[in-house]
Amino acid sequence: MAADAKGGGPILVGWREWLALPDFGIGAIKAKVDTGARTSALHVETQEEFQRDGARWVRFTILPTSRRRKRPHVCEAPVVDERPVTDSSGDRRVRLFIRTQVTIGAHGFEIETNLTSRRGMMFPMLLGRTALAGRLLVDPSQSYLLGRPRARRGKRAA
């Protein structure tokens, strides 16, 4: 189990938390921490595959989560996998997967996430149990235990 900042055990989080995606210049995004979902999912408005140096990449658009930022984030990442995912309504679709750094509170780690439309959902990101395993302990009665990420400049793809 990952230790908290003091080395005393797993990091306690609520059922919803603020995350940062520094690889894409996203300083704060709300996520549902979902032990019932195997994989993590990130809402994208658009996505298109392309080749770069003989490898599969994806360019995708994330809408701003801040009222101050009006322009969408256009991001690029290598495709690490493509596989079927069954959503909460039982529909099975093939999705692209990428790897990205996630920051939650003072803790950062890399996760694998799929890209999909989460339009109509309350949270633009879902943090699934594969990302949680060995790192986080979820208290379903709590929310936003680690607070909103401080504005940090991360590298921005695209």
Tell whether 68 is covered by a domain: yes
- Residue 25: inside a domain, yes or no? yes
Q: Is residue 88 part of a domain?
A: yes
Query: 31, 145 in Cβ contact below 8 A?
Result: no
In a domain, 148, yes or no: no
For residue 2, tell me if it sits in a domain. Answer: no
CATH number, residue 104: 2.40.70.10
- Answer yes or no: is 94 within a domain: yes
Residue 153's pLDDT is 46
Asked if the structure places residue 146 within a domain, the reply is no
Per-residue pLDDT of the chain (158 residues), as tens digits, is 444 545 556 899 999 999 999 999 998 999 999 999 999 999 999 999 999 999 999 999 998 666 566 678 899 999 999 999 988 778 899 999 999 999 999 999 999 999 999 888 899 999 999 999 989 999 999 999 998 876 544 444 43
pTM score, whole prediction: 0.85
Examine residue 128 and state whether it is found in any structural domain, yes or no. Answer: yes
Query: How many folded domains does the chain comprise?
Result: 1
Q: Which domain holds residue 41?
A: 11-139
